[in-house]
Amino acid sequence: MSANEQAGGEAAERLVGAAADGEDLAVEAALRPKDLEEFIGQTRVREQLDLVLRAARARGGTADHVLLSGSPGLGKTTLSMIIAAEMGAPIRITSGPAIQHAGDLAAILSSLTEGEVLFLDEIHRMSRPAEEMLYMAMEDFRVDVVVGKGPGATAIPLELPPFTLVGATTRAGLLPPPLRDRFGFTGHMEFYEPPELERVVRRSAGLLGVEVTAEGAAEIAGRSRGTPRIANRLLRRVRDYAQVRSDGVVTRETATRALAVYEVDERGLDRLDRAVLNALLKLFGGGPVGLSTLSVAVGEERETVEEVAEPFLVREGLLARTPRGRVATPAAWHHLGLQPPRSSAGGGQDGLFGG
């Protein structure tokens, strides 16, 4: 189970959490780009995929199986739908956790039509027997359907029409190599750059009928943690603020004021992130300090600090995990407007708090 799944409820409640919450699911369908042309950023994956799909279309055949990996909210589901649209093919959507038995998968596979796209979300969470059935289906477009039980059971081979499997995973490392190897193309989704997120915000604002200035869009983009889902969510909260407190136009000022209300700072850190940094800097002189001690100081569970707050702080270069404990970087001091101590290694607390 991934950190996101474990801390799912908690992460989803955060305004800057990358997992989808109920409102996201309701509006995302309307905000999804419909073709590759409309899909913003991910230049490399987009170009590679464009070639794969164009070549398949030119051959009049079915595209190779595609694996999309990357953090939540970066556009895996969106791209899978685009693949089907670009191929002019219908799409069937299911997920690893929904396939508990090989029979569940056999039922889906045997009802596919030629060229159909099968989207298997969270493919790393599929059961073992289903996985083995999938190997054969991907490679030979064939499954063995087992009829009966015990000694009398027989396997009936069933031919499948050629189809394209699109697998999505937030944890590519958890996929068994035989499964990974059966994908003809793997696209690794990266976090987005601020100018790309700015385009996401402007595009979404257009679809939602919200007026946004270039600076307003940039302000939201800078706080979105490289993630379009978060950019869209922040846009909706800023829009609410603009409607209630001003003339409805999203400017830099309304964005800044709205996100101050929601405690999301210029770098996209929220209350929890800043509480962790604050404790690390002010109580432990920048570390190193053990995770347990740090968590007690923040008043949060160990898991919450480790899985919800730290990944982004590490990614942003604000915090480092070392064998001796958590250490703040000079950027962390700078971000909270504090002076780093003269000895750059931290406050010499390691004897007391390390480990």
**Binding-site sequence positions for Mg(2+):** 77
Binding residue (CB under 6 A) for ligand ATP from 15, 32, 331, 354: 32
Nearest-10 Cα torsion for 199, 200, 206, 210: -100
Total residue count of the chain as it appears in this document: 355
Q: Which of 31, 93, 98, 146 binds ligand ATP (CB under 6 A)?
A: 31
Which of 20, 172, 249, 331 binds ligand ATP (CB under 6 A)? It is: 20
Q: Does 62 bind Mg ion (CB under 5 A)?
A: no
When asked if residue 78 is in the footprint of Mg ion (CB under 5 A), the reply is no
Cα–Cα dist 79/73, whole Å: 11
Residues from 146 through 175 that contact ligand ATP (CB under 6 A)? 170
In angstroms, the CA 305 to CA 127 distance is 30
Is 282 considered catalytic here?
no
Is residue 69 part of the contact set for Mg ion (CB under 5 A)? no
| 222 makes contact with ligand ATP (CB under 6 A) | no
Residue 168 CB, shortest distance to Mg ion, in Å, is 6
Residue with tokens 């590759």: 36
Cβ atoms of 305 and 291 closer than 8 Å: yes
Rounded distance, CA 313 to CA 316, Å? 5
Residue 77 found at the interface with Mg ion (CB under 5 A): yes
Q: Phi and psi of 143, rounded to 5°?
A: -130, 155
- Least distance in Å: CB of 232 to ligand ATP? 6
Helix axes 194-208, 214-222, angle to 10 degrees: 120
Question: Of the residues 46, 62, 121, 239, which is catalytic?
Answer: 121
Cis bond before residue 90 (omega within 30° of 0): no
Position among 11, 40, 269, 305 found at the interface with ligand ATP (CB under 6 A) = 40
Residue 69 interacts with, from ligand ATP, Mg ion, none (CB under 5-8 Å by kind): none
77 is catalytic: yes
Calculate the CA 302 to chain-centre distance. 22
Which residues define the annotated binding site for DNA?
302, 321, 326
Active site residue 203: no
72 binds ligand ATP, rule: CB under 6 A? yes
- Helix or strand run (H / E) with residue 168: strand 164-169
CB atoms within 10 A of CB 273: 26
181-240: contacts with Mg ion (CB under 5 A):
none
Residues that bind ligand ATP (CB under 6 A): 19-20, 28, 31-33, 39-42, 72-78, 170, 200, 228-229, 232
